[in-house]
Chains A and B, each alone.
Chain A
Amino acid sequence: MRKSTIWQILALGIVAGLCGTIVPASAQEPRLQDRVPEAVRSEIDAVLDSARAQGIPAEPLVDRALEGASKGASGDLILRAVRRLANELLAARDALGSESTDPEIVAGASALRAGAEPEDLQSLRSLRADQPLTIAAAVLADLVAVGVPADTAAAAVIALAVGADDVEYIAFRRNVERDITLGASPVAALGVRLNAAAEALDYAAPRSASTTRRPRKP
């Protein structure tokens, strides 16, 4: 072997070593060891690193991987679920804004998976600029989960965005679920409860807003 070739190999080795110290390999999430199949663990770690780099919460991704492992899912299925959730978290963060909290982003991702559009989350953010959106976005996802069409659920949640607080959102969701349990169709239950909630909010509004109030039935 020629002397120059040896020096070239040595130089490459040094450069590679330096790169290794400057750009470390994906950090391994210790909770995934011994639980998630070895074959996909490094890929999941890469997704986690990417999430952290993009400023979206990585903890829900770890949770999703652990859920899959605990439920006996295959490595491929777990990896697909983690990647899908990462994309939804990113979309939710983009829709809600970079100042969003982790719970808001997670709830927003649930709403997107349920079928809400990013524009729905943007509307919620603009209408409730000074309030957390976690409950509102979660209620949207929960309504879809019990059978309300996504666009209808989104419209209802947005309609309540101005006047309803978190407690009222939760009460609204529970009432709709209860009516569905009693046999009402999801859309009918939502319509009835939305009217009742809107009316209650309307009557609870300050007196200054009474000029726009509808006439009350005797």
Chain B
Amino acid sequence: MTDDTSKLDRAIGLLREPVSIDPSLDRRIMDEIESLPSPGGWKKRVWAVYDWLMRGRPVRVSPLGGLAVAASVAAIVVLGRTEPSSLDGTAPLTTALQGSAVQFVIVAPTATEVSLVGDFNDWNPTATPMQLVAENRVWSVTIPLNAGRYRYAFLVDGNTWLSDPTAPPVGDDEFGRPGSVVTIGET
């Protein structure tokens, strides 16, 4: 019993001795903590980004700049369009110049035949038939053209005349049918 008491007194004496702590301990502990992955930290970062995105800011845009942005958006919409826009489901898509070879394209999903007629083929409906190029919708033909200004139109199923809305229209419609114009410059 006496022996046990003396051991206990020694232990108490040891515990009562002042302990010297390394002054850098706090810093090291905090560094360790900060290096650990914090549960929910990525969520905070996501919310911070979301908050940054949703926060309103005044933006200064010149009229010309705004017009350019609007034109770019419209160009993407128009050039990226793959569906016909007219009520009858038939609408020309685009016309692209490739040197002296000019591609004419039309979207005519219900057509059984489409031909390109114009100054370059004596307005002959059978001279330049267009070919289906994609999923029974897009008709296309590419023809070589010399320098000049040509009037043309699309003839659908031999009886429906269509102009090309992506090309300048014929200013005057002398014969009561729509038409377009393509001009090839001289090199």
Which residues of A are interface residues toward B (Cβ below 8 A)?
Answer: 31, 60, 62-63, 66-73, 77, 81, 101-104, 106-107, 110, 113-114, 132, 134-135, 138, 141-142, 144-146, 166, 170, 173, 175, 177-179, 181-182, 184, 192, 196
Contact = CB atoms under 8 A, between A and B. Distances in A.
Interface of B: 63-64, 67, 70-71, 74-75, 78, 117, 119, 122-125, 147-149, 151, 161, 168-172, 174-177, 179, 181, 183-186
A66 to B, nearest CB: 4
B67 A184 contact: yes
Contacts, number: 104
A70 B125 contact: yes
Given A71-B176, A103-B186, A182-B71, A110 B122 contact: no
Contacts of B122: 31, 62-63, 66
Give 5 nearest A-B pairs by CB, closest first: A142-B168, A70-B123, A138-B183, A145-B171, A132-B186
A72 B175 CA distance: 8
Chain A facing B: main interface SS: helix
A175 B169 CA distance: 16
A67 B161 CA distance: 12
B124 A182 contact: no
A173 B179 CA distance: 18
B126 to A, nearest CB: 11
B175 A67 contact: yes
Contacts of B177: 71
Contact of B149 (A81, A134, A192): A134
